[in-house]
């Protein structure tokens, strides 16, 4: 027998899942963009050094130029490559999974759950070193997405199996 209330609840959960996927996809695109930018940070560092050099010769106490000069050493080549690899790999993996989920690829559901568990574990590990409200919220969002993905996986699998036999 068809249960209208259960159908409307499933429809609502599915909408939340789709919105969550779009948010995760947007996050993935930002990570890819950030990763690409970090690849070129070495060039940006060189350009900034050249731009502030003349200003510092003219006025060694220039507020903006001195602050930029003090920040430049923090953009080490190793740090830039790590940040770039981290952001690009996370972004590319997430965008592939989001697109596959939106296309209802059955393999993508367990792959997403496993991948998000790995990301969550790493994020919790990072939170033991540095607290960040943004990182906490991202981790909680990933936990929610795992729950929604598991739910959708069960629904999609039951649809592929067909209606229950009596």
pLDDT in tens, 28-72: 999 999 889 878 766 667 767 777 877 778 888 888 778 777 777
For residue 69 the two structure tokens come to 């000069």
Instruction: Enter the tokens of residue 90.
Output: 């996370």
Q: What are residue 59's phi and psi, to 5 degrees?
A: -145, 95
Global pTM value: 0.72
Per-residue pLDDT band for 85 (boundaries 50, 70, 90) equals confident
């Amino acid at each position: 027998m068809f249960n209208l209330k259960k159908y409307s609840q499933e429809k609502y959960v599915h909408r939340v899942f789709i919105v969550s996927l779009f948010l995760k996809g947007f996050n993935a695109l930002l990570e890819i963009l950030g990763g690409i930018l970090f690849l070129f940070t070495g060039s940006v560092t060189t350009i900034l050094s050249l731009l502030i050099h003349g200003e510092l010769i003219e006025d060694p106490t220039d507020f903006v130029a001195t602050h930029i000069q003090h920040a430049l050493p923090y953009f080490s080549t190793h740090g830039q490559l790590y940040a770039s690899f981290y952001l690009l790999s996370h972004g590319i993996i997430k965008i592939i999974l989001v697109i596959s989920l939106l296309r209802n690829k059955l393999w993508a559901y367990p792959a997403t759950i496993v991948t998000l568990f790995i990301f969550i574990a790493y994020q919790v590990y990072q939170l033991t070193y540095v607290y960040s409200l943004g990182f906490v919220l991202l981790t909680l969002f990933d936990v929610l997405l795992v729950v929604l993905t598991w739910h959708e996986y069960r629904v999609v699998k039951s649809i592929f199996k067909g209606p229950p036999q009596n």
